[in-house]
Amino acid sequence: MEIVIAEQGAFRLEPVITAEEARGRASAHKASAFGTLSRLFARPKEGDIAISDLGLCYLPLWHAKAHLRFLYDRRELYKVPVKTPHVASVSVGPDDHAVASGTIELPVVEHCERDERKELWLDGLSDQPMNAQPYLQASAIPVDLDEFAPEDAKIVAPTVRASAVVRALLGDDLRPTDADAVKEERVNVECIDLYLRPAFNFKCVWTEKNKTADLTLDAVTGELQSRPSAAMAAVGKLLKPETLFDLGAETLNVIVPGGAIVLKVAKAFADKRKT
């Protein structure tokens, strides 16, 4: 199998929601940071929970697209009905085929072509697919991961690497398992990009119950999420491309079913994408 991988890219998404708007929304939903059970049994009042700003952060979001093409042959036995009664056998070409239960079995070779495209947006922390539609409307600014270190924001490093994204994109049924002879098997990973989506973080303190929780508001979609403090522990100043984009031939032979992969880097794809 030949896998062609485009040059990888990284982008920063511009916030759509301001810090002031984010704080207003977070304050209105601060009780949700402690979960449904806590609210049911304790029912905190508006003044019981204090909220403070933790600032802007960037959360990782992966985007990958691929074009798969397979040409292969498959042997099959076709059961062909014989409508005329009293037929004992049928000649097809030089071969005779006996009639059994009103049919003949005809060995054939099917010439198959499988051509499909796949696309995936994956949360770089939870490893779960995401709805990308809101992010497509935001401005995306190219960044150099070796140098991207904003003074007014933190960066949350992905726990999901590029190799795992490619594995999720291609799936378990990558190769045709019923092929008897493969003539062509080619996978073009047309993009494998890391997007850094902005989010505002807030700390909620419920003093009476001695509880704290983090509340995160997506600065593009406005969605609120409560996160345990440990989820924000992997915060770094710089991201290491050589670690995140682990797309060498040895890695792909491990994660892609079947192995024996010829890896190529297609800079032409990246150039086409940029234009």
199-216 average pLDDT score: 82
116-130 average pLDDT score: 93
Tokens linked to 40 = 């049911």
Residue 92 lies in a domain: no
Residue 79 lies in a domain: no
Residue 107 lies in a domain: no
238-266 average pLDDT score: 65
Domain count, the chain: 1
d(CA 98, CA 42): 80
d(CA 255, CA 168): 10
Residue 41 lies in a domain: yes
d(CA 223, CA 216): 8
Residue 97 lies in a domain: no
Owner of token pair 């005779």: 96
Residue 93 lies in a domain: no
d(CA 139, CA 141): 6
- CA-to-CA dists, residue 2 to 5, 136, 160, 193, 243, angstroms: 10, 30, 24, 20, 23
Q: What does the pLDDT read at residue 268?
A: 41
Q: What does the pLDDT read at residue 216?
A: 87
- Residue 83 exposed, middle or buried by CB count within 10 Å (0-12, 13-18, 19+): exposed
Per-residue pLDDT tens for 19-47?
999 988 888 877 777 765 455 456 666 67
d(CA 91, CA 96): 4
Residue 174 lies in a domain: yes
> Can you give the residue range of the structural domain that contains 165?
2-73+113-274
Residue 247 lies in a domain: yes
Per-residue pLDDT tens for 137-170?
899 999 998 888 888 888 888 888 888 898 899 8
